Amino acid sequence: MSWLRENWRVAFLVVLLLASTVALFGPNVAGDEAAEASADRATNLQYGLELSGGTRLRAAVVGATAEGVDVTQDNEQAMERDVAEALSLESRDVQARIASNVVEVYSENSTDEVRGALDDLGYGYDTVRDGVTGETRETMRETIASKVGGAGFSGADVTTTETQTGERYIVVEVPGQNASQVRGLIAGRGEVELWAFYPENGNQTNATVLTREDLADISPPRVINERPSVPVVLTDQAAPRFAEDMRNYGFTTGNGISNCQYPEGGYCLLTVLDDEVVYDASMGSRLASSLEDGDDFTNDPRFFITANSMEEARELQVNLRAGALPAELDFQDSYFVSPSFAERYKPLSLVTGIAAAVAMALVVFLRYGDPRVAVPMVFTALSEVVILLGFAAVSGLALDLSHIAGFIAVIGTGVDDLVIIADEVMTKEIDSNRVFKSRFRKALWVIGAAAVTTIIAMSPLAVLSLGDLRGFAIVTILGVLIGVIITRPAYGDILRRLVTGQH
């Protein structure tokens, strides 16, 4: 027992090293399925985008928000309509919120323009700022997540972040996909509509006949009548209205059936994505007779939204399922690395780390000559990295290049402190345990002081939203803590046994 009391630090270090080795190479301790899927085969480490490949996009939400507007049940709709009209927008682009007394404008209008519109309309407000409300951002986040998931991109992560300077962003991370695929999916609002295109008083006219709100069910796309289509079912409210519209516009007359020459003329059903016509279809005779009857269609309100290709149909379906984004995104930065290129970073950064560690070991051997001092020194410095890696495996920290930089920095600071301990302890012949202990305490003061300054210096990076350098800072700080509390004192114990010859 007395051995353990004297050498508890060394014992603790050995236990930690064993635990880390198990965490790294043993059966998966994290256990959850996501970790299981993304974990590398050789170790239990998980890798972030930079080391596994994929896309990260950061975007701000386009819009302006007027705060302190008196929004009530009675004036809510009028206000939305008036503001939209004043700014020549559609009413869906303006959102008045009763609970928080704000009016959001989802457009690129400047705050001055919004102020002008509110002033002209006589609505009072406190301030008008850029950006949208937290509720809108949350809706955006959920919608984007469901779009990305619906498109079959697995392992995606959508989050909202705020920087210390007050800017708020939505961050989308998608493993394995390239930036333009992901961007294409969420660049527009993704609003799918069905327009009727028909002649009225000699002129061709557009009218919106179906929007997402009118759909009760959306099925996966399939080829129907040789056309890629998304089968949908209309709601009970929408079905009779749609049938009536079709009759009124003349789609069920002899002229309206199979007679589409878009954009020249005729009777067309247009599939529209974000106000752009993606496909024009003509009315089929079977649907026409069902609509003419009215009851027939209302009892079984099934319909197909048609597209040019299966890919387009799938995109329409994803957009219909997830719903339209309330506002557009303004992309701030994007990062993409192809999985094969990223995979390459793993061995390369491992080699870089090993090269740095070998260089460190060589200098230490050259300086001390005595392997009794140098071997434990190199061993201790490297054990800090092993413990950190074990910690990363257990906590499921997704490793990126910045973490690797942190590991190498930890080797650097670690060996500094070990040199201090070695020199302090070895300056004169050590004849007693008491002398050793007093020397060791003096060395620890310097090490502690240096550790505190390093932690203070790195902490802004751990807190500020400066890209992915947070990982570097966190690893460095953790490394310093593990070093000062466990490994560096343990080195002192090892050195004492070797130098004083006590057992």
Binding residues for another protein restricted to 44-73, rule: CB under 8 A:
58
Interaction between residue 136 and another protein (CB under 8 A) = no
Q: Pick from 52, 139, 413, 487: which binds another protein (CB under 8 A)?
A: 413
β-strands 54-61, 168-175: how paired?
A: antiparallel
Q: How far is the CB of 457 from another protein (least distance, A)?
A: 4
Q: Which of 409, 478, 494, 495 binds another protein (CB under 8 A)?
A: 409
Q: Which stretch binds another protein (CB under 8 A): 119-127, 245-253, 298-306, 399-407?
A: 399-407
d(CA 419, CA 337): 40
Q: 66: exposed, middle or buried (C-beta count within 10 Å: 0-12, 13-18, 19+)?
A: buried
> Which residues sit opposite 56 in a β-bridge?
173, 335
Backbone phi, psi, residue 82, to 5°: -60, -50
Q: Contact with another protein (CB under 8 A): which of 128, 257, 269, 337?
A: 337
- The single residue among 91, 159, 163, 289 that binds another protein, judged by CB under 8 A, is 163
Distance CA 269, CA 283 (A): 7
485 vs 483: CA distance, rounded Å = 6
Q: Which of residues 391 and 407 has its CB atom nearest to another protein in the complex?
A: 407
With respect to another protein, which residue has the nearer C-beta, 115 or 344?
344
How far apart are CB 463 and another protein at their closest, in Å?
Answer: 9
Residue spans of alpha helices (H) in 329-397: 339-368, 371-395
385 binds another protein per the rule CB under 8 A? no
Residue 345 is a binding residue for another protein (CB under 8 A): yes
Within 142-161, the residues that bind another protein by CB under 8 A are: none
The footprint of another protein on residues 183-212 (CB under 8 A) is 183
Under the binding rule (CB under 8 A), the answer on residue 333 touching another protein is: yes
If one asks whether residue 402 binds another protein (CB under 8 A), the answer comes out as: yes
Task: For 206-220, give the DSSP string.
Answer: EEEEE-GGGEEEEPP
Residue closer to another protein by CB (options 12, 379) is: 379
Which of 246-254, 286-294, 315-323, 396-404 is the region at the interface with another protein (rule: CB under 8 A)? 396-404
* Interface with another protein in residues 437-496 (CB under 8 A): 442, 445-446, 449-450, 452-461, 464-469, 472-473, 476
Count the residues of the shown chain that bind another protein, applying the rule CB under 8 A.
82
Identify which of residues 96 and 408 has a Cβ nearer to another protein in the complex.
Answer: 408
Please say whether the beta carbons of 63 and 136 come within 8 A: yes
Site string for another protein, 276-315 (x = CB under 8 A): ----------------------------------------
Contact between 323 and 379 (Cβ < 8 Å): no
Cα 402–Cα 39–Cα 387 angle in degrees, nearest 5: 55
Which residues within the stretch 166-185 sit at the binding site for another protein (CB under 8 A)? 167, 179-180, 183
Cα three-residue angle 49-141-53, rounded to 5 degrees: 10
Contacts of 19 (CB under 8 A, 6+ apart): 390
Write out the binding residues for another protein, residues 414-443 only, by CB under 8 A.
415-416, 419-420, 423-424, 427, 442
Diameter of the chain measured on Cα atoms = 112
Segment 346 to 375, residues that bind another protein, using CB under 8 A: 348-349, 351-353, 355-360, 362-369, 371
Q: Which pairs with CB-CB distance under 8 Å and at least 24 residues apart come from 460-467?
A: 463/164, 464/163, 464/164, 465/161, 465/162, 465/163, 465/164
